[in-house]
Amino acid sequence: MRATVIHGPHDIRIEEAPDPVVRKPTDAVVRVVSACICGSDLWAYRGVASRTAGQRIGHEFLGMVEAVGSEVRDLRPGDFVVAPFVWSDGTCDYCREGLQTSCPQGGFWGEVGSDGGQGEAVRVPFADGTLVKLPKETADEEKLLPSLLALSDVMSTGHHAAVAARVRPGATVAVVGDGAVGLCGVLAAQRLGAGRIIALGRHEQRTAIARSFGATDVVAERGEAAIEAVRELTCGQGAHAVLEAVGTEESMRTAISIARDGGAVGYVGVPHGGSAGVDISQLFDRNVTLAGGVAPARAYIPELLPDVLSGAINPGLVFDRTVDLDGVPDGYRAMDDRTALKIRIAF
């Protein structure tokens, strides 16, 4: 089989890899139907996050179950499934509490020794606890596949930011970040009934998607200018809920500063700027709550799936380019230079 591997900064290759097999009785093997490139993959591509040369990469995929271990109860060959970006055993205290990202036996696709999602097939540990079964007929619905794929990470992560920020009906929400996660945060806030949604972003194609997802206002400024603009839009008070989807020092500082007193910031941007953006005294003085972290997508997918199937939400709009496996290296380059928002890989 063929798979995407990373050899160093800006060095993504498609190479032959061993065919995955069931190694443990709780495993499944999934033949990938659709996968994608994530914004967080770019940190490895740029050399910011270290990777071992030859390591598999990718953590979002849909596929058909090809084989299962003897202890897999809920899945059979031929089932169509979505994989959250973290595998988990489904039985530990954290999994039962809906925090599968803290599962002691869990892990991330593409770790050394595990399969990455940007390949033709994947061995899935703890298949029952990890995979979510989809209606089999949706495997042939090409228009639906991008939104189903978005559940594996970006839609679930945007939803996690909205939940952490305590988005409620009628609330004013601000979203920092116009990448796929930020845009899905806009959609999540709209789904939860936000009365006003302010999207912070300057890329016209992306802010157009934000508006289609429910954004009522767009702020193109950054830094202090963005803070002033949001304050002006909210009569000096700020937003009840702020979704931070970038992960830099500046983005976190902006998020905290535009939160209303008594409000909350839900942060899901992978941190790449230290903690200097967190002003504890500002949080304390203004009673601003800071919550978030790695999204437990496995907990959210069953909740979000019915709205995707019904068409109530269409997060697949964040995919603006589709490539085959051979096109993946060019896809990384396109996302890195921001000529593409999010790349879907069709097999």
Number of other residues whose CB lies within 10 A of the CB of residue 311: 10
Structure tokens at 120: 């033709």
- Give the SS3 label for residue 173: strand
Query: Is the distance from CB of 308 to CB of 143 less than 8 angstroms?
Result: no
Cα–Cα–Cα angle for 64, 66, 69, nearest 5°?
125
Q: How far apart (Å, rounded) are the C-alpha atoms in residues 60 and 109?
A: 8
- Give the SS3 label for residue 122: strand
pLDDT score, position 256:
96
Q: How far apart (Å, rounded) are the C-alpha atoms in residues 344 and 308?
A: 17
Using a 10 angstrom Cβ sphere, with 0-12 exposed, 13-18 middle and 19 or more buried, the burial of residue 302 is exposed
| Amino acid (one-letter) located at 136 | K
Query: Is the distance from CB of 123 to CB of 21 less than 8 angstroms?
Result: yes
Element (H or E) spanning 310, and its range? Answer: helix 297-310
Q: How far apart (Å, rounded) are the C-alpha atoms in residues 252 and 243?
A: 10
Nearest to 52 by CA among 121, 109, 6, 87: 6
Structure tokens at 140: 């042939």
Query: Is the distance from CB of 296 to CB of 101 less than 8 angstroms?
Result: yes
| List of E strands, the chain | 2-8, 11-16, 28-36, 55-56, 61-68, 80-83, 86-87, 107-108, 121-124, 132-134, 172-176, 196-200, 217-219, 239-244, 259-267, 289-292, 321-323, 343-346
- How far from 161 is each of 77, 112, 257, CA to CA, in Å? 35, 28, 17
DSSP per residue, 26-48: T-EEEEEEEEE--TTHHHHHTTS
Cα–Cα–Cα angle for 165, 185, 164, nearest 5°?
20
pTM: 0.96
pLDDT score, position 194:
98
Q: Which domains does the chain have, with CATH numbers?
A: 2-153+296-346 (3.90.180.10), 157-292 (3.40.50.720)
Profile the chain (347 residues) by mean pLDDT over runs of 10 residues. Answer: 97 97 98 97 91 94 98 98 98 98 97 94 98 97 97 98 98 97 98 98 96 98 96 98 95 96 96 72 96 98 98 98 98 97 97
Q: How far apart (Å, rounded) are the C-alpha atoms in residues 172 and 214?
A: 12
Q: How far apart (Å, rounded) are the C-alpha atoms in residues 124 and 62?
A: 12
Q: What is the DSSP letter of 178?
A: -
Structure tokens at 95: 């999994």
- How far from 135 is each of 86, 102, 126, 172, 252, CA to CA, in Å? 22, 28, 21, 36, 39
pLDDT score, position 274:
59
